Amino acid sequence: MTINIEAVATRSGESAIAKAEACVIVIFGATGDLTKRKLMPALCHLARQGALAEATLIIGVDREPVDTDAFRESMQAAVREAKGEQLFDAGEWCHFEQKLNYFACDLKEPGRYAGLAARIQELNGGALGNRLYYCATPPTLVAPIIDGIGVAGLADETAGWARIIIEKPFGRDLASAQALSDYVAGVFLEHQIYRIDHYLGKETVQNILVFRFGNALFEPVWNRNHIDYVEITAAETLGIGHRGGYYEEAGALRDMVTNHLMQLLALIAMEPPIAFDADAVRDKKIQVWRTIKPMTAAEVAEKTVRGQYGSGQIEGHAVPGYREESSVASDSNTETYVAAEFRIENWRWAGVPFYLRTGKRLARGVTELAVHFKRPPQPLFAGKTEFIEPNVIALRIHPNEGIDIRFDAKQPGSEMQTASVHMDFRYQQAFNMRIPEAYETLLLDALCGDATLFTRRDGVEAQWRLIDPILAAWRQQPSDAFPNYAAGSEGPKAADELLARNGHQWRLLDSQLTNTPQTGATK
């Protein structure tokens, strides 16, 4: 697969960016939330940066019987809202909207896709040309879209490349993910399929690899000899909003763990790839998932914790419990919180617990990976009953994007007393430029044919192999403790006990990291 990337200079304050070949971008689900909140603002920004070729066309496809003018208007409103009135540039929009077109079509009707093919050709000077399809739809529509594309011959690559981006969740379990992959493979070849996980498009997530493999300092200590345990947290203050219907079916395990958290786990634990290319990187990540043994039912009971939020306070405002949210059953057993301990059984990591936690309506929105180092072997500077605080490297994905390293320093004074201090790298300060949105990065990668940040079929399946036994054990034994954490709290108590058994502790969500030294060598 050739990757066609040509660097172009951009406006000041932004880094050089690849330039994609001209193509037709077809968005299925063009009137939906994802298109409005993420895809349109991202495409508009890419156009502004000069990353889209002038001849690029965007065709929104959906059921709504509107025309191109009405579609452009509603996309303009969406981009205004997403960017904020102050950043919205009307002149730029006028230029961008010339690319936008709309094709009304029942996505479930394969017969209608011939009309779409004709529309693409009509707009594209008679040729199908290069095509990027984006399924920005609920999962149930993916199969009918694939059918339609197949029937109309729209996956054919003789007239130009054709790629399809498919949103998560990719299946509901291993069997359905395999069935979906087989289905998609009936129309597209694997190199044409881009399974998207937006976490991989985040700058700070990509920086995990640069931090580990672009520096000689950290890799020698990145193993069980020096690391005590690793925490991976994706905590949100948000509830499920209007997504109750989807969330009831998904739950936190499918929604966050089988993709975002598993990806973070792979990046923090993988071996160095032989090259920074799509297959080399993905091979190493898949090795991590394969090195974890799927849990038995007894291990699920011991090493996982599920939770569901009850009512509580978020930022001083009363919020309802999950069971009171719209489209949620009043006796719902869906989990809105998961904590789990995984063990990677290889030479590098044997004996090191990797703790994952994610939840809605928690005390603070924070996504980070915290690598906890072992204590120094000799407590040279500590008093008789005290220990030196171990080192922690925290890779902050969001907010305050950056990296914090905690180490001990001598507290000024006549006594040999230590204090924990922080070395804090902040993206915004260091680079003083706008951090690209994940969808900008991923759309541009797909347009350029770079699949490094997308999930391969075997990767999806390797993740489900770890999740399936948890789903099965939970299904077998619904929780009788829900709701078991209050909105605005740190999560269920049982999650603390999960770590306490190994003498470990979660970092408090509700504490902001600062550079203020924490004095005294404490236990």
Catalytic site positions = 260
**Residue (76 or 463) nearer to ligand BG6, CB:** 463
Q: Which tokens in the block code for residue 117? A: 């093919």
Query: Contact at 8 Å (CB) between 370 and 392?
Result: yes
Min separation Cβ 247 and ligand BG6, Å: 7
Is residue 236 a contact point for ligand BG6 (CB under 6 A)? yes
One character per residue 346-385, x = contact with ligand BG6 (rule: CB under 6 A): ---------------------x------------------
**Distance (Å, whole) CA 462 – CA 441:** 25
**Distance (Å, whole) CA 371 – CA 224:** 11
**Residue (181 or 367) nearer to ligand BG6, CB:** 367
Q: Which tokens in the block code for residue 367? A: 């996504």
**Distance (Å, whole) CA 247 – CA 334:** 8
Of 467, 445, 459, 449, the C-alpha closest to 282 is 459
Q: Is 480 exposed, middle or buried (0-12, 13-18, 19+ CB in 10 A)?
A: exposed
Min separation Cβ 169 and ligand BG6, Å: 8
Helix, coil or strand: residue 109: coil
**Residue (147 or 167) nearer to ligand BG6, CB:** 167
> How many of the chain's residues bind ligand BG6 (CB under 6 A)?
3
β-strand 100-104 against 57-62: which pairing, if any? parallel
**Residue (236 or 341) nearer to ligand BG6, CB:** 236
**Distance (Å, whole) CA 320 – CA 208:** 36
**Residue (55 or 238) nearer to ligand BG6, CB:** 238
Phi-psi region of 254 (alpha: psi -120 to 50; beta: other; left: phi over 0): alpha
Altogether, the residues listed in the chain come to a count of 523
Min separation Cβ 470 and ligand BG6, Å: 18
Is residue 233 a contact point for ligand BG6 (CB under 6 A)? no
**Residue (168 or 284) nearer to ligand BG6, CB:** 168
- State which of residues 147, 228, 255, 408 lies at the interface with ligand BG6 (CB under 6 A): 255
Min separation Cβ 266 and ligand BG6, Å: 17
CA distances from 439 to 27, 35, 323, 443 (A): 14, 11, 32, 6
Q: Is 481 exposed, middle or buried (0-12, 13-18, 19+ CB in 10 A)?
A: exposed
Min separation Cβ 260 and ligand BG6, Å: 6
Min separation Cβ 74 and ligand BG6, Å: 23
β-strand 17-19 against 6-8: which pairing, if any? antiparallel
CA distances from 388 to 94, 134, 263, 369, 382 (A): 60, 52, 32, 22, 6
Phi–psi pair at 258, nearest 5 degrees: -70, 30
Helix and strand tally (H, E) in the chain?
A: 16, 21
The residue number whose beta carbon is nearest to ligand BG6 equals 255
CA distances from 47 to 19, 32, 38, 223 (A): 10, 21, 14, 43
**Residue (147 or 236) nearer to ligand BG6, CB:** 236
Min separation Cβ 317 and ligand BG6, Å: 19
Min separation Cβ 268 and ligand BG6, Å: 17
Q: Which tokens in the block code for residue 479? A: 């929780």
One character per residue 179-218, x = contact with ligand BG6 (rule: CB under 6 A): ----------------------------------------
**Residue (148 or 359) nearer to ligand BG6, CB:** 359
Is residue 258 a contact point for ligand BG6 (CB under 6 A)? no
Site of interaction with ligand BG6 (CB under 6 A) = 236, 255, 367
